[in-house]
Amino acid sequence: MNILKKYVAPFLAIALLGNGGSAIAANLLVNGSFEQSTCGGGCILDTPAKTNAITGWTTFLSGAEYFNMPNAIGGSVAADGVMIVDLANYVYGNGGGIQQNFATTPGAKYRLTFSAGNSRFASRSGDGVIQVKVAGQTATFNTPTAKGVAVEWSTVTYEFTAITAQTTLAFSNEQNPYANYAFIDNVIVERL
């Protein structure tokens, strides 16, 4: 028995710890931190030609803004990487959004986690709303209220049960884009 403890126990510990990727659920989304796109350091995704500019995502309503956070708002950082999406597209006032389809198992439970952010840059209010639609459910989340120009981030978690073999996750904002931001980043969906 001591031989088992001496040789097998460390091997099991190494095998379990060394394969940490399987202990942590994989993100079911493509490009959840928006780092990959066809529009370089940023663009306004407001035309049909730009609908698929962010790898894995498509825009709807009047699109969204996509940009390098540290370059756009001095002293600010993205929640993950450098690129973020602002759902409050300032070119049009009728709302903006992005969405992605991903494989699910009907009846299985999933957890959505994303970073919501805001700033008072360019005379914005410092607060905003992010609408989420997934698996037939709709939820609304407030961004953190920014106290200054530097972007403030908070983590939002939402659980849902899949109802079909393919689920669409959609983020949107329909506030006045000249008064509000609705930044998102680091979007993750994991099966529970």
- Per residue in 24-79, pLDDT (tens digit) is 679 999 999 999 999 888 888 888 889 999 999 999 998 999 999 999 999 999 99
Integer Cα distance of 187 and 29 in angstroms: 8
Integer Cα distance of 59 and 9 in angstroms: 51
Residue spans of the domains in the chain: they are 26-191
Written as one letter, the residue type at 140 is T
Integer Cα distance of 192 and 98 in angstroms: 24
Give the residue among 29, 31, 121, 112 at the shortest CA–CA distance from 69: 121
* Percentage above 90 pLDDT, the chain: 76
Query: Whole-number mean pLDDT of the chain?
Result: 88
- Per residue in 88-104, pLDDT (tens digit) is 987 777 789 999 999 99
CATH architecture of 26-191: Sandwich (2.60)
User: What integer pLDDT is reported at residue 23 of this predicted model?
Assistant: 52
Integer Cα distance of 110 and 105 in angstroms: 10
User: What integer pLDDT is reported at residue 48 of this predicted model?
Assistant: 85
The pTM assigned to this predicted structure is 0.86
